Structure 1
Amino acid sequence: MANKQVFPTKGNLIATKKSNALAHMGYELMDRKRNILTREMMGLLDDVKMLRDEITETYQRAYAALQQANMTLGVISDLVEAVPIDNGIHVSYRSVMGVEIPKISYDKPDYTLSYGLEHANSKLDYAYRCFYRVKELTVVLAEVENSVYRLANAICKAQKRANALKNIVIPDFEGNIKFISDALEEKEREEFSRQKVIKATKDKKSSQERPL
């Protein structure tokens, strides 16, 4: 529905047409952004499924290896506490259509074991390697899942903005354009009719004043 409060002038008509053109451009940009982000997200969803499946299997192997190590060595909590804290994770970001996507880099430490070998065995070493693999996969999965989450939020926002432009803003501008255009055309017709009446009156008056 046209906004009847818009005063029907040529200046308002020009301004409304410019705003309408900008709204159309904004809708196209939002639609393009949504499509690009959707393609980016769809490319990551398959990775999420594969990573989750792999990390589940790796966790199962790691816990099974841990149980074996516990059975052969007893409670190994003292040995586990000897493993140093890993500070090799670093986060940077890349921009996709204004959306900051995380990029996690992992400086992998060497496999030098910090616990004494005289208190360990091959089963503990295997459990250590399994959990190390879990850590690697967790880093990758965290990057991918966080990227998907951010992309999904951005897609939702772009969709809402595109819908608002398409269903509310643009129809309102187009309604105003029609309202102003109709009002100006009606005013021009009235002015044309008025000028015609004035001319006819003048012509009649002139003919009456003309000497016989």
Structure 2
Amino acid sequence: MDQNSFPTKGNYILAKNSLALSKQGYELMDKKRNILIRELLELINSSKNIQRELDATFSAAYLALQNANIEMGIHHVDALSHAIPIEDSIKIKTRSIMGTEIPLVDYDGMKDNVPSYALYDTRLSLDEACRHFNEVKELTLRLSMVENAAYRLATSIKKTQKRANALKNITIPYYTGLTREIANALEEKEREEFTRLKVIKRAKLTKKQKAS
């Protein structure tokens, strides 16, 4: 048998404190869950907007690339593509939302404004294709950051919901019942003690009256 369930004043105080902490913990979990859900909904809306913009930019980029291939020749465009440097400016940072680490992509897009090929033997369509594909790269980075953050928030919401349910459906009812049981047992003991003292007092009074 659990020693903390014995009907003593010490256990009653412990049970009341545990119940108060459990209720406070549930309130905190509930607030955390609501904040995370609000952040997740904002990320979902942002993801939809970025996805629409990305689809439109992809279409424009491929159309510009198609025009460049027609005007300059596929082999020439392919040869120029090898002059594009490897992307190494992307850095991943993090920020915390209610204890959940959210990735932040730090990307320097300024260097993309400088063409990596000679201008004298190229056409405007190639410049347009490069510009659109650089936008695709930036949008893809933003979308990946948003979707990754949404996944982490969803995982955190699931864990928070599980803990909140455990507090609401298991811990709080347990300590509520335990507090009530101990309180009732203590009250019963106090009534028994009061009755016993009255009997003793009456017996002493009767004995005193007989002696006199």
- CA-atom RMSD, angstroms? 2.0
The structure 1 residue matched to 2:176, chosen from 160, 165, 174, is 174
Query: For the structure 1 residues 4 and 15, does the alpha-carbon distance in structure 2 shift closer, same or farther, using more than 3 Å as the test?
Result: closer
Bigger mean CA deviation after superposition, 168-177 or 195-204: 195-204
The answer to whether the 8 Å contact 1:4/1:179 transfers is no
Code of the residue aligned with 1:195 in structure 2: it is L
Q: CA deviation at 1:4?
A: 9.6
Structure 2 equivalent of residue 25 of structure 1: 24
Q: CA deviation at 1:43?
A: 2.3
Matches within 5 A, 1:58-69: 58-69=57-68
Q: CA deviation at 1:155?
A: 1.9
**Residues in 1 aligned to 2:182 and 2:86: alpha-carbon distance in whole angstroms:** 70
Deviations 1:127-149 (A, max 9, x none): 21111110011121122222222
Would you say how many aligned residue pairs link Structure 1 and Structure 2? 208
Code of the residue aligned with 1:106 in structure 2: it is Y
Code of the residue aligned with 1:92 in structure 2: it is K
Structure 2 equivalent of residue 74 of structure 1: 74
TM-score by length of 2: 0.88
**Residues in 1 aligned to 2:205 and 2:112: alpha-carbon distance in whole angstroms:** 106
Q: CA deviation at 1:118?
A: 5.4
Bigger mean CA deviation after superposition, 183-192 or 142-151: 142-151
The answer to whether the 8 Å contact 1:6/1:176 transfers is yes
**Residues in 2 aligned to 1:107 and 1:74: alpha-carbon distance in whole angstroms:** 29
Code of the residue aligned with 1:91 in structure 2: it is I
Task: Report SS of the residue matched to 1:84.
Answer: coil
Structure 1 equivalent of residue 130 of structure 2: 128
Deviations 1:102-149 (A, max 9, x none): 222211114332234455333222221111110011121122222222
What percentage of residue pairs aligned between the two structures are identical?
50
Task: Report SS of the residue matched to 1:182.
Answer: helix
Task: Report SS of the residue matched to 2:113.
Answer: coil
Matches within 5 A, 1:78-157: 78-108=79-109, 109-117=111-119, 120-157=122-159
Structure 2 equivalent of residue 46 of structure 1: 45
**Residues in 1 aligned to 2:74 and 2:44: alpha-carbon distance in whole angstroms:** 41
Task: Report SS of the residue matched to 1:86.
Answer: coil
Structure 2 gaps of 5+ residues are: none
